[in-house]
Amino acid sequence: MSEKQNYKQDGAIRLFGALSGVDEKYLAACENEKKQSGVVVFMHKYGKAMAAVLCLAVLGAGYMAMQTGVKYNDCATSEAPQAVAGAGAERNEAKDMEAAASDAPEADSMEESVLENAEQLQDGTSSEHSVQTSATVEMTLTEARALNVVGQYVPSDWPVGGEVSQVLGLGTANAESVTLFWTYNETKDGFFINIDNLGEELPVWVTEEISENYIVDKEDFTKEYVESQMKSSSEGSEADAHTGRFGILYEDASGYVLVRFNGSGNVDEIWELMN
Amino acid sequence: MKDTEILDLYWERDERAISETQRSYGNYCYSIAFHILHAKEDSEECVNDTWLKAWKAIPPNRPNHLSLFLGAITRNLSFDRWKHKNALKRGNGEMEAALEELEECVPAARSTEDVVEELELKRCLNHFLETLKESDRNVFLRRYWYAEEYSEIAKRYDMKLNTVKTTLFRIRGKLKEYLEEEGVVL
């Protein structure tokens, strides 16, 4: 064994030994977490899904109300469907994911993912996705890149064998967002990338997603992380196709920007794209 | 029997303290020993030594958390035995894997700088743990205090296996960075 290797191993042994001096409170917390009651475990596992279902119901009710009664100042009548694309885009995202989930082998976990994502969208609506205050417009990739703040996070190295099928921008006075849908030519599968300018304060759902490892800081974003978030897709599809979701949190002078991926793709290509 | 009652037995020098401790914490301590040693006989011996050490230590001690007090003794005894038996010999088991991973946290050697005393290292580790989210801290301790396997941790916390791996990978990177910032030389 080399001297360097010995040094490393001695260091590791010292570290392991030193960990015996860990404060009891941490070990106690570690032990206690295991002893959560059944109700707590149930709420921890399914509480979000339950909340998401409620939120979707509320969102759906609001959407229906808009379709029937609310006029849009920015749009002529013929453009009304597009005017509600802000809500529609969110609903479509959820629908797309629901469809993907029902086809995927791990439908349960995907369904959970859908519900969680729907919840994120719902939580986010309080500012950047507000049905009442936002105006969503379809735009080109070039226009998306020109958007203030979020534009600089629009990827440039897209995978081959497909195309950016739709770009939806969502802007309000305080925040903006853009969602880019990418579709493979052959399979019609794909993914979407959502870029949100979160401003200076992180919404609660983002901190929750961070704690659950669905979102990481830019400095923690690695290919290994992408691999860990992307599950192998159903049998019969391409061997290297994976499905999953994750987000990268950037912090710059204007505040936080969150770039989220959701859908299917080749891990190497996704890593290149998101990196 | 409650912990306080067991502790009373120790303080009264009643030998039933050991049998009651064995009954309440035998499996727990054996699990800690076995994760480190991966040998039934050695693990059992460490657990028995734990009772003996506890008998000698209580009184004067009266631990707030008897389980943690016993667990720490078992861990130390098991780790000492592991070091003695292995003496840097490579082998299978979670200990080797856990140590290999911890090697990533060892900062680069820096000439002849002073070696940090063990107490200082423990202080640093506690401070580092303080900076972690509770969920991350628990995963870290499960791996490097209890030497549990990834799959056990994933099951325990209802996490994906890869999430456990990624979480530990991230924490090890942060620990290395932290130790380097603190000027810790191992």
| Residues A24, B167: C-beta atoms closer than 8 Å | no
| Residues A16, B79: C-beta atoms closer than 8 Å | yes
Which candidate in B80, B125, B128, B180 is best for mutational testing of the A interface (most A CBs within 10 A)?
Answer: B125
Q: How near does any CA of chain A get to the CA of B80, in Å?
A: 9
| Residues A22, B135: C-beta atoms closer than 8 Å | no
pLDDT of residue A78: 36
Query: In Å, what is the CA distance from B97 to each residue of A9, A26, A149, B160?
Result: 11, 23, 44, 19
pLDDT of residue A173: 45
Question: In chain A, which residues have their Cβ closer than 8 Å to the Cβ of B122?
Answer: 18, 21-22
Helix (H) or strand (E) holding A171: strand A162-171
Asked if residue B49 has pLDDT above 50, the reply is yes
Higher local confidence (pLDDT), A201 or A84: A201
pLDDT band at A106 (very low <50, low <70, confident <90, very high): very low
Cβ–Cβ under 8 Å, residues A40 and B119:
no
Output the average pLDDT for chain B: 86
Q: Pick from A20, A28, A213: which is nearest to B75 by CB? A: A20
Average pLDDT over residues B150-174: 90
| Residues A15, B102: C-beta atoms closer than 8 Å | yes
Span of A111-115, A163-167, B42-46 with lowest mean pLDDT:
A111-115
Q: How near does any CA of chain A get to the CA of B165, in Å?
A: 8
Asked if residue B137 has pLDDT above 90, the reply is yes
pLDDT of residue A126: 35
Secondary structure of residue A163 in the 3-state scheme: strand
CA atoms of A212 and A269, how far apart (whole Å): 24
| Residues B133, A7: C-beta atoms closer than 8 Å | no
Q: How near does any CA of chain A get to the CA of B9, in Å?
A: 23
Estimate to the nearest angstrom the gap between the alpha carbon of B185 and the chain centroid.
21
Residue A233: which residues within 8 A CB-CB, separation 6 or more?
A: A104, A105, A241, A242, A243, A264
Average pLDDT over residues B83-93: 65
Span of A76-90, A173-187, B92-106, B146-160 with lowest mean pLDDT:
A76-90
pLDDT band at A158 (very low <50, low <70, confident <90, very high): confident
Higher local confidence (pLDDT), A66 or A203: A203
- Residue of chain B whose alpha carbon sits nearest to that of A20: B72
Higher local confidence (pLDDT), B22 or A202: B22
Higher local confidence (pLDDT), A78 or B128: B128
Query: In Å, what is the CA distance from B86 to each residue of A52, A136, B36?
Result: 52, 65, 12
Between helix B40-57 and helix B66-86 the angle, nearest 10°, is: 130
| Residues B109, A7: C-beta atoms closer than 8 Å | yes
| Residues B105, A15: C-beta atoms closer than 8 Å | yes
Share of chain A above pLDDT 70, in %: 55
Secondary structure of residue A263 in the 3-state scheme: strand
Helix (H) or strand (E) holding A216: strand A215-217
Average pLDDT over residues A46-74: 53
